[in-house]
Structures are given as C-alpha cells and as structure tokens.
Amino acid sequence: MTAVQNWVPAYVLHSRPYRETSLLLDVLSAEQGRISLVARGARGAKSPWRAVLQPFVPLLMSWAGQGELATLRGAEARGLSRLPGGQGMLCGFYLNELLTRLLQRQDAQPEVFAAYEACLSRLCVEPAEPVLRAFELELLDAMGYGAALDCDERGADLAPGAYYRYWSERGLAVSERREPGLDFPAEHLLAIARRDFSDAEVLRAAKFLSRQLLAPLLGNKPLRSRELFLRKE
C-alpha cells in the first residue's frame, strides 16, 4: 500500500527539470527533514504548482510513495516569500545549498526546520552576516558537529587574554601562535558562544571558525553560492 503524507509545512531547497514537463525537488519538510519529490507536470503551462514551487516560499505539501523518491500530490503557499532580492536572495541560496549538501534524506530534524524558517525571516530585517553565522552554528549543533566554545579541551573555563585553536578531535586548546583565522582570543570565543556578534572582530572570527567547522562536512567540492558572493564583492 502506498504511503500518503498529509499536508506538512515545507520549503523547496532546489529544483531541476525532469523529463518534458516535470520537476525533481529537494524539499525541507517540518516532519521528515530533507526529502526528494517528483512534481509531475509542474512545468506545464496550466500547472497550478508553477508559481508556488519556488525557493523561500513557505508551503504546505502532500506527497505519496515510499523509498528515496516520492510523488508530490499537492502544494500550496502558506504565506509570502520570506526573502528580499539582492544580497538576501544570495544568502538564501547559500542556506539552501548548505542544507542540500549536509542533511541526510528522511532524517527528521524539526529544530533545523525552525532555525531555517527563523533565519529567512531575520534576513528580511537584519544584517546578513550575523544571521548567517548564527544559523551555521545552530545547524552544526543540531547535526551533532557543534563545538564547545566556552571551555577548553579539559572542560576548564577559557583563560582571559589567552588564545585558543580548535581541534576536531580535542576541542579548544591554548595556542601560542596567534595565527589569523586559526587562533582566537578567549573573549571572541565566548561572545560567539553567546551568539553576540555586535563586535566586528567577533563576527570576523565567527566566519573563520564556522568555515573551519563546516569544511570536513562539505569536502573538496566548493559551494556554488559562495562563488556568487565573490562575484558580487
């Protein structure tokens, strides 16, 4: 018997053409995490889904099927797109690429869905950099790859004035080298742990640290959305 999923909050992360009139969708759903769907006839001129199966549009979706690829049964908007144009759109594509690359299919992570939805809303009204850094850290925590930033490898409090380097197998260890992008003042690490990016140097440190934490998960394949950011700079 074919399993039918009732209406569920979801977002389209990525879509690509499939056969003559259909789409293959990567979707972030509130209940099942990242899933793959085929939207039959969605590219047809008379399809009611053409306007709604877009990134950043909050949706209610229903699908049927078992295995890695299910069939979309219904999709309707539950609100307006949460992102402005320009830099906000690029930031959204970065979020979507991160989730597509990092999340396993059919692994329910409601905290990731909630963080993503909140991040889209914040990008509409707040500076992008602090919002992105906070989301990256929340995503890493939810996936089990977050770093303890308020204590060293022994569990001791960070020493004021000391510099630390993060090691994936150990955690934070005192460093005497103070190499930019690798060694961070204790004060910066504690601010990052609090998600306090009001200081420009803390925000810069958070960018270096999050890239260091994400690198082993992303592998050698570069993020296309980062290349778009570089072209805009």
- CA–CA separation, 199 vs 155, rounded Å? 26
What DSSP designation does 3 have? -
Domains of the chain, with CATH numbers? Answer: 4-77 (2.40.50.140), 87-232 (1.20.1440.120)
C-alpha gyration radius of the chain:
20
User: Tokens at residue 118, please?
Assistant: 């909140």
pLDDT tens, residue order, the chain (233 aa): 456 678 999 999 999 999 889 999 999 999 999 999 999 999 988 898 988 999 999 999 999 987 789 999 999 999 888 777 777 888 999 999 999 999 999 999 999 999 999 999 999 889 999 999 999 999 999 999 999 999 999 999 999 999 999 998 899 999 998 999 999 999 999 999 999 999 999 999 999 999 999 999 999 888 887 766 655 54
Reported in sequence order, the residue ranges of the chain that DSSP labels E, i.e. its strands, are 4-18, 22-29, 33-39, 59-64, 69-77, 163-167, 171-174, 183-185
